[in-house]
């Protein structure tokens, strides 16, 4: 069966000492008070694959076009 919808996107996650699971990413956004990005991640991100250094997700309908880029930039900083 084919699924319609946006193509999966990838955002890099830091490797050493970085989040070990996706919930850690959300907690990190909360800790740094990145409310807008945290809200977008919780609302629009459907995790397809997570490993330290790699996040692959399917963006939900209405997701910001630059969500993967914003998340990747934030996790690198």
Question: By percentage, how much of the chain surpasses pLDDT 90?
Answer: 62
Separation CA 40–CA 68 (nearest Å): 10
pTM over the 0.95 mark: no
Question: With 60 as the cut, is the pLDDT of residue 15 above it?
Answer: no
Model pLDDT for residues 23-76, shown as the tens digit of each residue = 999 999 999 999 999 999 999 999 999 988 889 999 999 999 999 999 999 988
Residue 46 has what DSSP assignment?
E
Using pLDDT thresholds of 50, 70 and 90, give the confidence band for residue 19: confident
**Residue from 75, 67, 77, 65 nearest 25 by CA:** 75
């Amino acid at each position: 069966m084919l699924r319609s919808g946006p193509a999966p996107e990838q955002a890099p996650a830091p490797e050493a000492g970085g989040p070990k699971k996706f919930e850690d990413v959300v907690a990190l956004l909360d800790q740094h008070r990145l409310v807008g990005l945290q809200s977008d991640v919780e609302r629009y991100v459907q995790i397809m694959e997570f490993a330290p250094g790699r996040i692959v997700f399917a963006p939900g309908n209405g997701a910001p076009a630059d969500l993967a880029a914003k998340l990747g930039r934030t996790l690198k900083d």
